Chain A
Amino acid sequence: MPDKRLIFLFLSALAACLAFMLVGARGSWDFLLVFRGTKLLTLIAISVAVAVATILFQTLSANRILTPSIMGLDALYVLLQTILVFVLGGAGLASLSAEVKFLASFLLLMFASVLLFGVLLNRQREDLFRLLLIGVIFGILFRSVSALISRLIDPSEFMILQGELFASFNKTNTSLLAISALMIGLCCIVVWRRRRVLDVMALGRETAIGLGVDTGRELFIGLVIVSALVATSTALVGPVGFFGLLVSALAYELMKTSGHGPVFIAAALISITIIVGGQTLFERVLHMGATLSVVIEFLGGITFLLIVFRKYKA
């Protein structure tokens, strides 16, 4: 029988989705269903992607503070996209379809993140804060290099390309959404089937090896999945910042356990509730469309500080 808390979370996520579809709905439902429905699907897709990627990444690094965003993974995706534009140029890139571009940068991200975090998580894992700080600085580095390269590209050309590379909430690319949903679905299936192994991974590398888990292989699979999820969510709406940390902290706080099965479900539902509910509230009720991300950034930063101060009191 499902946990009461999960039922509650499911209902709140459902309520958020219904509110998103219904609040301020005017005009023909044929149009609304397609228009709002596509948007809702996008939001749900990235909510699930961020939630699963964050929980998975935290397990791979055996702690509850790291998230792919904090470690600069989405900044790396943006950097790779920028390099792609820089190397191929506007003409070269325009001749490729959106799907090909997406797949190319996803593969690049997978390669780069396995290389970078495979080494980092193996070598630096004893010293969590060094790892964390290195990740944060890598994130800043990726953003700085992207900014620098984008200055080197012809400004007008870059603006056009940027618009094409990053679909926004208002201009959802339907075929990209289909690929993304497929990708996220596949990742979720793989992660779900491995949830018990992940329970063991969360005990730390040495304990996991002692219990017969091939940690190198799990780390590799995990990083590939995290890369896929980050690439899809970043391609759909851009970097999500601290959102993942907020979700995972709430999920662990609420579930009190670290069994990956319930935690994954809880995190995904919390994520949907916040993103869809928040978007409804800010866009339809408060009419402050683009500031949701700022509020999430604020709450995420506070969450980080709270986690640290609760755990590491002087």
Chain B
Amino acid sequence: MPADKQRLEREVVAMRVAKELPDGGYVNLGIGIPTLVSGFVAEDSVVFYHSESGVLNCGPLADEGEEDIDLINAGGQFLQPVPGMVFFSTVDGFAMIRGGHVDVTVLGAHQVSAKGDLANWMLPERGVGNIGGAMDLAAGAKQVIVAMEHTDRHNHSKIVEECDYPITGKACVSLIVTDLAVMQPTEQGLVLKEVAPGWTPEEVQELTGARLILAPDLKEYEL
């Protein structure tokens, strides 16, 4: 059964996403697997991290005992002060996002559709949720990458033909990286580009709620 097979660790998913970040780019990381991405950027590459909490050039997370409540990212994590860090108002933080100045955002998701619709702010059974900055990021960032587990805790696919959860943005996701595969939403449908080591495209399809189109150059997860 594919459901019992070994999937990739969250860190490996983050490592794969890190390869997508452009050298010199401005990047906004969401909560969950996305926060891990900064740990895997190549050492010779410079990435400027943006937080809508009003920080640009965010450094690494603060060490225990060094936390400063006035130095946090949008996820509420404490940051280390680093040279070149700047602060600004939330209004400016969202101008950077909607104005097309942020190159990539990496977000988690509850569901992503084959066309790239993103649902990540509310679970229908709860009936309410925090939106935060996700809708502005979905609408404004030049590129939206989703990093998430392929299935939810009931082993239901988080990748679907059409989202039945309330959506955050329409046709906004350009790449989906999961613990099983790398996929690209297109107008024709969802293209399977890479599969995790030890997995066949058929096994990935079995756990995917949308029909996968095999990329001509389909390959093993490339780190």
A and B associate: no
By a beta-carbon cutoff of 8 Å, the part of chain B in contact with chain A is: none
By a beta-carbon cutoff of 8 Å, the part of chain A in contact with chain B is: none
